[in-house]
Amino acid sequence: MKRIALITGASRGLGATLARAFATRDFGLVLNARTSDGLARLARELSDGGADVRARPGDIADPSTRAALIEAARNLGGLDLLINNASELGGIAPLERFDDRTAERVLRVNLVAPLALIAAALPLLAERRGLVVNLSSDAAGGAYPGWGVYGASKAALDLATRTLAGELSARQVGVISVDPGDMRTAMHQEAFPGEDISDRPQPEVTLPFWHWLLAQDPMTVTGQRFVAQGYVDAARGPVSVEQVHA
């Protein structure tokens, strides 16, 4: 049975890298991004290569976008893997200049939307003993100056991930966090305006981890927080793994 993955924030960066990698492994794909142009180009590229792709542009914070993604997955046949990759940086600024509207937007995209999408996807995931991957960041625990709102949103998502892992174990649905590390992406450039980030690796540096993850039973990894960059040993799995079970 063909596996099916849903990836948010898929038009560029890590999301597009994962879509291409999963297509080579014969996944059916449901892809989302806020803007349609880049997403449409990627969908055409993957479809031309033989992948079964459903592109659904829209703001992941919008309930109608989430509903369209779930319907697309259902039409493909189900859902094995949900990757909550879409994130909002919200700018880099000290918390003393806290802006409530920006903070609310960051929390809606980085925390509320992933939780809502998981809830909507749960019946499909449970049918296939699926896996949820929530993209985290080292900012979740770094307390970096200027990163407070973004870091808080990712710290909250990490806690929600651990909670869901316990709550969903009886339904055989795994839930993990993955910190992909610094990468040469548009979002990382946004965090360092005007700076040269060419020393950061491309998102492809994380692919050994993702290929390892696809070979795991979701219930053997659930509740863990993984760091995606670094050497992956086929027998032992990722060398850099944080156990986050209570």
- CA 39-45-46 angle, 5° bins: 90
Structure-token pair, residue 215: 């070979």
- CA 166-167-171 angle, 5° bins: 105
d(CA 162, CA 109): 19
d(CA 189, CA 198): 10
| C-alpha of 8 from chain center | 7
d(CA 183, CA 215): 24
Any residues with CB less than 8 A from the CB of 67 and at least 6 apart, and which?
120
150 in active site: yes
DSSP state of 174: E
d(CA 74, CA 97): 44
Q: Which of 78, 19, 26 is nearest to 44 (CA)?
A: 19
**List 22, 27, 147, 150, catalytic entry:** 150
89's enclosing H/E stretch is none
d(CA 128, CA 124): 7
d(CA 7, CA 81): 8
Q: Which of the residues are catalytic?
A: 150
